[in-house]
Structure 1
């Protein structure tokens, strides 16, 4: 589909946006046209990919060197010989209208006049060359081949260039650039340029997926989303408040103009696919014709699956809503009836069913209740909440209405409207007349109550109504009594496992006895085995949290992975289970300090959970911010966490707002942003606490740390100690480590003593590095402090690395070793620079000359500065003289000096 015509005078802002990621193409094209071996540069790509703007950028680069003459292909003139040359050949006699030689002579006369006026070589700039007639293309090739002018040509990849122009490339005298869609990173760069730096990553991800990397579509989606409030700015942060609306004014205008260029059969085929996708290729070909469908596939307007029975979809999915919005209800109904006459069965795929039901509702056609319910469930899973509510609200069967209302509750849960979800679910709780309707929504009900702050004990007390309802249903159906009671008890067990896992309440897992069996309802049958896969997954999730509390993050991660495997792929009404378990897994690897694993998990989440990114993207950003804070990158962490907070205000399905606010407050306090810290503290204090015990305690620690950083909390060490070792709680080494790490960062010497005692009980490289620093502090030996600093660097804990280097510098100062003190201070500054550097930016301060040396080289240089000979250095360090000589020689080379005489200058003595 074609893009807008108004390209030659595109604003600079638009030009910069489209040229993101194209700088190499611009440079290469300019060099080719300036050189003597190429007569043409050919730019090819899909419609809207930015060919015309790129071409204008090349022309602008050459503006002082060439005489530009512009031509523009036109579909209306594509079959008229020399049609686009008409303005230049007005003096051509009618009898010579078909003579290429005559046309060439007149056209060349015009061009030569232009060239004489400027005294600069000719550059013919040809846009939309795919719409040129072959005769015109032949004239242009003749001019280029004769060396009279050079060509800068753009064309759609399909149908491509006319044969004469393509021949230039075959002969090796033209350079060809096939423009590719933008990458995710380039899309992020464009959004940052257009909107500003504070754009949530999930915004870039959603827009990149929707636009398929096409700059024109990206611009349309951004403008339309801003206009309708889908893309909005809060506290300087750009975020998506709901799924993209794909029938905004600008995108609709682009699609409408593209449709006007299509034949009636092509428009019919495109409309049918938009209304029914995915739809059988055979059906569409029966209603249109094979050649039309094949042409649309060739031009990449439709894509075809490789299934045994191929299905068609629109190439750009965002065109679907736009096309459907352009079709009148009467025309839509007509197309539906023509398609249904040829269909012998309902769509096989879930997505096909969803479109079929949606299309029927749009046309006012009545849909069977079970089909409506299936479509509502699918739409809610895809976060198409409006469609889910519309389909569910049309279900008439009283027994199915309970399930339909639970779907509506789920759409409220999607947007963190827990109160609305609770009101719907509680009205139906324990009131079904069948086992299926009795249990429907019960797990979501418990999850909603947990999100609203109800304790596991309170939820289980309320869940007793489900057991009573099961008993009544069993009494009414004696033939099925056993299966009814088993199903109800299993569900209550699963509810208990879930609410305990959500709250992280391991101590409560022993719980009150099951009044029916005399055993526990902690998950599992009487033999202690899990009642079902969900029960097992929640039990493992609880185990993961308890291992975290105990200081075993590696083991906690293994348990979280096992929980994900146990849960399987289909979680029914608990569609958020994978996200909940993912939070547990990410929490474990962050606690362990395994940043690579954390990045992999978060990246995999983004790739796998596209439809839920608007709801769950804030959590991904929050995790990234916490990692930055732990690494010591407080300024960047503050920016990232504040942006995450804005997303979590819109949707917070995992109840991460209070944790994120606490961490953002700590980061703001760390960098001395007092006013921002005050606002973030207010956010934390007004929010509902995190459901999970571990995350709730961690939030409280971060707030205490932030208050201490701001200088107004003298009892910080005491409060952190209490949070790390809660009264009566067994084995909380993990919580205690978090508290001690905060205390150590605050400079509390007692924290180092306890960390040394705690080290054997802890897992993870973050704990190993921090405890190593604590051990080195106990020795007061500068060499050990340097080793600890290196370990912290390897763990990418830049804050603790800087503290260790600072402690080493103090120890060297006390020993009177000025050179090593200076080197340690230099290394400390390097760590600070690294912590303050922006993403992808190398820190400044790389003038750390002595930091270029290895530890052994620095030892030898330090002795040489003190005046020791090579032999004396060898004796001091118990190495050979040759070893000393070799290290000194390499040190001279690294320091760019000629010998010993210059060492004192480099060392600053």
Structure 2
């Protein structure tokens, strides 16, 4: 790999080494200790590289260990013929000190020094004629003369720890030249153990294997860790020295980690496990009432696997399968593990186990593993049950065309009631959410409504219809059906899930925060339906809490989703990341939200085609807003284009949000009149659909853009929306309309108190404008300063109100808008077309703006506007 290898500076350790080598005191240098590959040599050489004097480096090796004064022998070649150790040491000392003052001696792998070299190093430290920096590998036998260097205080001892997670991410991102997905970062850090050498080779190996790749500007690790042949050789040299019984123990563990201690002992022997633990190769830890065995370092598992042929691996898995079949298989995870092992062993699983494990994997939101089990079941003649399970995994993995081809092989007339309902739900979901073919999906739904008559199944189909109606923005119809279904007893898990999905999304957009019952029902069926589906409903529940100002509850719920998803696969993690990013945006962590949403979009972009996958869509509009707030207009426009391309009836419920996001793009461009118009359009569309919470949000956004004409409607919405936010928005709009400085300041303080800093910043900014209009310059400056401080705290986010208050110019709002468009490079004709005015009108505004700002032309006007931002 030809990528540059960066140095991740450890500032604390680097400063300690530099002090020890440059300042006078009792210590004459430093000994760096730490595990192999932790970065001792790299750090030591970096520290000595900037020193003014002479630096002489030597390195201890196994081959030189048997030679007296081995690593320093080159210093005395030709200078003495004596074989007396004393003369040897004297000649070496004289040769070294000939380099003059400020001499630094670096010794790499000082634990490998022969006794005479160790003695010589000790003498140099005693007489203080040179500074010393040495590295010693932890866990190795070290000569007494070297050990006494730090025990007797001649050198400082500094233990070098593995990289922290943050340092590991910084290293990988420096190598790759781009951001690393957080889920991938976690797994690479865990696999490397923070060891710098292991991390370097893991990155190189993953790039070579193609498991580490750039997806939409975000680097993702997919599949098992891969390591280079170079690192494999280093680790294999350690493995080659193991006794056969210990090696066999490690080979078995490589295919089933972690494993119950008693199960491993039954096939590998207790003595071999004890010896592996003594050598630091495995660790035994408690998991509840059980003891489990894991590798001490994950990469050893990969090396062990590389050294086994297919036949041997198949046989070892078979041994483990037999042992596990005799153990406790009462948990779902234990049966999944047994099935995964059996698939590639000489004891293949039966179809019933494959089907059971496929259902469980899908319930756990591991679609990739579910696909593997279901596909194997199909190949073994599992019939319809296997096919519908495979279809469900293909849907989640974005393989919609293959899913449709699989399901259309079945004749609905040949299916019984249960099979027909299942076939229809899977096919509907794939057509509707996966392919975006709403018309075909509705045809399937019509077939189900007509032919599914068994009562509990018919209720499930009604719930499916409720979910469809809500997604298509027919909220009243969807909510009515959902509530009718939920009022009935003995519902199937899928009936509960679809009805709850519909109900929560209605709450998420209507301004109702009463989600407790729906969330409890959603949680109750977790594991009984597709695990990934609950994240779609979970997102709705968090957005309902946010829209009604229940931020602490929303934050707890969002974090719980992410914590659960982090142990699963990337699709669950991607959906959970959208939920957490929503809260980051609310809390003013704009850059964090943008970064997380970028990663979520990349993670959710799966399959051969992602043009219509519905669960990506909720990530688009918060990302557009985040980019707009950060001034990343080009990025915001690109995401907006992607969202428009992927928009369809299957995501119609998100249309008002998308229109509002477009308004944020125009606001970031400085085209505030168009931004206000789009916010109003979003409010009107939301109102017609019954999305009263989103309507309130849109009208509030229009207020932030400088339009307070929605004050009356916001006052009405207070009566039909829960929580404090709509009440504050109504008060803010009314105060902005009347120019009430004191009320705007009160509202801004309340926004601060409840933890929404960007709303507070805009309220302070509007207060500043009101104060200045009233001639209260001092109050206006104080309010503007508060707005600017909050915006700076929110990653220097920019809104029209904050910009106007922070850098006031003697322009009307229309003059400022047109001047901003001039600064963006638009011609007079383009400006006129966008504002739907004449070119002459535009020219007049530009002329008056130039007079007020004392500039002579468009170019100077543009410069003034850009400098004022």
Query: TM-score, structure 2 length as denominator?
Result: 0.76
What's 1:722 paired with? 684
Mark the CA change 1:607 to 1:713 in structure 2 (over 3 Å): closer, same or farther: closer
What's 2:491 paired with? 531
For the 8 Å contact 1:239–1:647, the answer to whether it is kept is no
For the 8 Å contact 1:667–1:706, the answer to whether it is kept is no
SS of 2:30 mapped into structure 1: strand
Shift of 1:60: 2.7
What's 1:70 paired with? 58
SS of 1:16 mapped into structure 2: coil
Mark the CA change 1:241 to 1:45 in structure 2 (over 3 Å): closer, same or farther: closer
SS of 1:575 mapped into structure 2: coil
Shift of 1:155: 3.6
Q: How is 1:96-175 mapped onto 2 (pairs within 5 angstroms)?
A: 103=85, 106-107=88-89, 109-127=91-109, 129=110, 131=112, 140-141=121-122, 143-144=124-125, 147=128, 151-159=132-140, 161=142, 165-166=146-147, 169-171=150-152, 174-175=155-156
Q: Distance in 2 between matches of 1:164 and 1:423?
A: 74
Aligned to 1:225, which of 194, 206, 213? 206
For the 8 Å contact 1:638–1:667, the answer to whether it is kept is yes
Q: Distance in 2 between matches of 1:282 and 1:130?
A: 38
Mark the CA change 1:733 to 1:463 in structure 2 (over 3 Å): closer, same or farther: same
Q: Deviations over 1:241-294 (max 9, x none)?
A: 743453565664554455446555544332232134344546666776756533
Q: Deviations over 1:121-180 (max 9, x none)?
A: 4434232x4555677656645654565655433344334756664555555555443333
Q: Deviations over 1:529-570 (max 9, x none)?
A: 3525564455444443333333234x33x45642454235x2
What's 2:448 paired with? 463
What is the RMSD computed on CA atoms of the aligned residues?
Answer: 4.7
2:7 is equivalent to residue 16 of structure 1: yes
Aligned to 2:511, which of 545, 551, 561? 551
Shift of 1:674: 6.1
What's 2:277 paired with? 297
Q: Distance in 1 between matches of 2:650 and 2:247?
A: 53
Q: Distance in 1 between matches of 2:80 and 2:94?
A: 19
What's 1:606 paired with? 562
Aligned to 1:44, which of 30, 33, 45? 33
Q: Distance in 2 between matches of 1:359 and 1:166?
A: 48
Q: How is 1:709-788 mapped onto 2 (pairs within 5 angstroms)?
A: 710=671, 716=678, 719-726=681-688, 729=690, 732-788=691-747
What's 2:255 paired with? 275
Q: Deviations over 1:821-880 (max 9, x none)?
A: 3333333433444445389xxx99xx99xxxxxxxxxxxxxxxxxxxxxxxxxxxxxxxx
SS of 2:274 mapped into structure 1: helix
How many equivalent pairs are there? 790
SS of 1:523 mapped into structure 2: helix
Q: Distance in 1 between matches of 2:128 and 2:271?
A: 41
For the 8 Å contact 1:82–1:136, the answer to whether it is kept is yes
Q: Distance in 1 between matches of 2:318 and 2:224?
A: 30
For the 8 Å contact 1:230–1:243, the answer to whether it is kept is yes
2:199 is equivalent to residue 239 of structure 1: no
Q: Distance in 1 between matches of 2:366 and 2:505?
A: 32
What's 1:408 paired with? 390
For the 8 Å contact 2:65–2:114, the answer to whether it is kept is yes
Shift of 1:487: 6.3
Q: Distance in 2 between matches of 1:11 and 1:149?
A: 38
Q: Deviations over 1:272-321 (max 9, x none)?
A: 32134344546666776756533432444222233666443323335434
Q: Distance in 1 between matches of 2:425 and 2:264?
A: 43
Q: Distance in 1 between matches of 2:146 and 2:77?
A: 24
Q: How is 1:319-358 mapped onto 2 (pairs within 5 angstroms)?
A: 319-333=300-314, 335=316, 345=326, 348=329, 357-358=339-340
SS of 1:726 mapped into structure 2: helix
What's 2:544 paired with? 588
SS of 1:313 mapped into structure 2: strand
What's 2:167 paired with? 186
Mark the CA change 1:628 to 1:220 in structure 2 (over 3 Å): closer, same or farther: same
Q: Distance in 2 between matches of 1:131 and 1:773?
A: 73
SS of 1:699 mapped into structure 2: helix
Q: Distance in 2 between matches of 1:506 and 1:114?
A: 85
What's 2:525 paired with? 567
For the 8 Å contact 2:662–2:678, the answer to whether it is kept is no
Q: How is 1:660-699 mapped onto 2 (pairs within 5 angstroms)?
A: 660-665=619-624, 676-689=635-648, 691=650, 694-699=653-658
Q: Distance in 2 between matches of 1:341 and 1:836?
A: 57
Q: Distance in 1 between matches of 2:189 and 2:632?
A: 34
Unaligned runs of 5+ in 1: 1-9, 97-101, 469-484, 513-519, 849-909
Shift of 1:424: 2.8
Q: Deviations over 1:402-436 (max 9, x none)?
A: 33333433432332223433443454586898998
Aligned to 2:400, which of 410, 413, 418? 418
What's 2:45 paired with? 56
Shift of 1:750: 1.0
